Amino acid sequence: MIATLDIKIQKTTQSRLSSVDFNNLQFGKIFSDHMFVADFSEGEWRNLAVVPYANLSLSPALSALHYGQAIFEGLKAYLSDNQEVISFRPLENLARMNKSAVRMCMPELPEEIFAEGLSQLLQLDKAWVPSQEGSSLYIRPLMFATDEGVGLRPSETYKFIIMTSPVGAYYPHPVRVKVETHYTRAAEGGVGLAKNAGNYGGSMYPAKLAQEQGYDQLIWTDAKDHQFVEEAGTMNLMFKISGTLLTAPTGDTILDGVTRKSIIQIARDMGVSVEERRIAISEMIAAIHNGTLEEAFGAGTAATVAPICAIAYEGTDYELAPLTDESFAFRAKKYLTDLCKGKVADRHNWLLKLA
């Protein structure tokens, strides 16, 4: 904790907490009483404050609205069994946000502002962290350009916000995914490695087409030939084939997921062999045909692990056997859940107490 950081605290006079049904939470619809805010101008972060969650007043000429200098992050906090607010690897999210910032020509945020802002916010909104099974407090940091004017150039001013939202389980059922062989999410040299708003706007139309055909998500493939598996929605993809956990390497086109890297570590700890390498769609389909595809799942903060029950490719739906509690995917998920509840030792130092 840095005592020298001057964070102003303005408490709400009207908490909305009592109006929330914590047994019936829709993902990302309800926001906690407070948010952390900071402004960047003249090369410095200033006006650090925790304030009541409220609308912003923005210029129609706001740079972010026109040219898309806007990035975000997503992480979670949990109420541990001894009533502490624990977050999972938050500094990994900060590091990734700063990587996104560099790629989008935006300023980096210093660690002490992020860590202390998050901590002050969670101390104030501790009662918003749900304790129900599978529930957590989703934390959404975001940064956007605030210069006013429609000239195309990097903004000189920015706003950073952390808001939080109590959430239940993200995917209530296993997902049906379709391999996308026409549209592209990200290309070499592009911005796929950043969590910038435009990446998600660009993915909505192809995802909507797939949803109209009865699928929950797309499997994105490489932009050049559509021959290799990349990722799905806001999840990295993992396959267990003949006992080995396979996942595509991160790079320009694949987001460096915190869940992905944690699950890779858990696999190694459990003695499961791991290969980070390109996975051809033909290899995946062959493994389905010859029965060596044991598990397929998405890995990301929102769902932690989202089992895949069907993969569609070139007009054929391949149905996959449901994952059992003994599957690696569910054992890894249980380990992560138990860890964040304080039930198992934090051997890799992944947890940070916030309040």
Ligand X SMILES: *Cc1c(COP(=O)(O)O)cnc(C)c1O
Minimum CB separation of residue 163 from ligand X in Å reads 16
Minimum CB separation of residue 296 from ligand X in Å reads 16
Minimum CB separation of residue 59 from ligand X in Å reads 28
Confirm or reject binding of residue 253 to ligand X (CB under 6 A).
no
From CA 313, how far away is CA 317, in angstroms rounded? 7
From CA 223, how far away is CA 325, in angstroms rounded? 35
Minimum CB separation of residue 193 from ligand X in Å reads 9
Contact predicate 346/86, CB 8 Å: no
Nearest alpha-carbon partner for 299 in 241, 250, 227:
250
Confirm or reject binding of residue 235 to ligand X (CB under 6 A).
yes
From CA 247, how far away is CA 94, in angstroms rounded? 23
Confirm or reject binding of residue 119 to ligand X (CB under 6 A).
no
Nearest alpha-carbon partner for 101 in 69, 79, 124:
69
Minimum CB separation of residue 19 from ligand X in Å reads 29
Token readout for 219 is 């499997």
- Helix 258-269 × helix 90-103 angle, to 10°: 140
Minimum CB separation of residue 114 from ligand X in Å reads 15
Residue 287, CB-side half-sphere exposure with 13 Å CA sphere: 21
**Shorter beta-carbon distance to ligand X: residue 120 or 164:** 164
Question: Which region among 114-122, 145-153, 231-239, 328-336 touches ligand X (by CB under 6 A)?
Answer: 231-239
Report CA-CA distances (Å) from 152 to 40, 166, 219.
19, 37, 33
Minimum CB separation of residue 203 from ligand X in Å reads 8
**Shorter beta-carbon distance to ligand X: residue 52 or 168:** 168
**Shorter beta-carbon distance to ligand X: residue 34 or 96:** 96
Minimum CB separation of residue 348 from ligand X in Å reads 15
Confirm or reject binding of residue 194 to ligand X (CB under 6 A).
no
Contact predicate 340/308, CB 8 Å: no
Confirm or reject binding of residue 301 to ligand X (CB under 6 A).
yes
Confirm or reject binding of residue 143 to ligand X (CB under 6 A).
no
Token readout for 267 is 């696999």
Confirm or reject binding of residue 177 to ligand X (CB under 6 A).
no
Across the chain, where does the E strand assignment appear? 8-9, 34-41, 44-52, 70-72, 75-79, 85-88, 136-145, 158-167, 175-179, 217-219, 231-232, 235-241, 244-247, 274-276, 293-300, 304-313, 316-319, 351-353
Minimum CB separation of residue 1 from ligand X in Å reads 25
Confirm or reject binding of residue 255 to ligand X (CB under 6 A).
yes
Judged by CB under 6 A, the residue of 196, 217, 221, 236 near ligand X is 236
Confirm or reject binding of residue 333 to ligand X (CB under 6 A).
no
Question: Which region among 44-52, 107-115, 117-125, 229-237 touches ligand X (by CB under 6 A)?
Answer: 229-237
**Shorter beta-carbon distance to ligand X: residue 62 or 235:** 235
Nearest alpha-carbon partner for 231 in 239, 291, 198:
239
Q: Which conformational region is residue 143 in: left (phi greater than 0), alpha (psi within -120 to 50 degrees), or beta?
A: beta
| The residue count for the chain | 355
Contact predicate 215/177, CB 8 Å: yes
Confirm or reject binding of residue 234 to ligand X (CB under 6 A).
yes
Confirm or reject binding of residue 257 to ligand X (CB under 6 A).
yes
Confirm or reject binding of residue 231 to ligand X (CB under 6 A).
yes
**Shorter beta-carbon distance to ligand X: residue 77 or 258:** 258
Confirm or reject binding of residue 74 to ligand X (CB under 6 A).
yes
Judged by CB under 6 A, the residue of 195, 217, 295, 328 near ligand X is 195
How many positions of this chain bind ligand X (CB under 6 A)?
Answer: 13
Residues that bind ligand X (CB under 6 A): 74, 195, 231, 234-236, 255, 257-260, 300-301
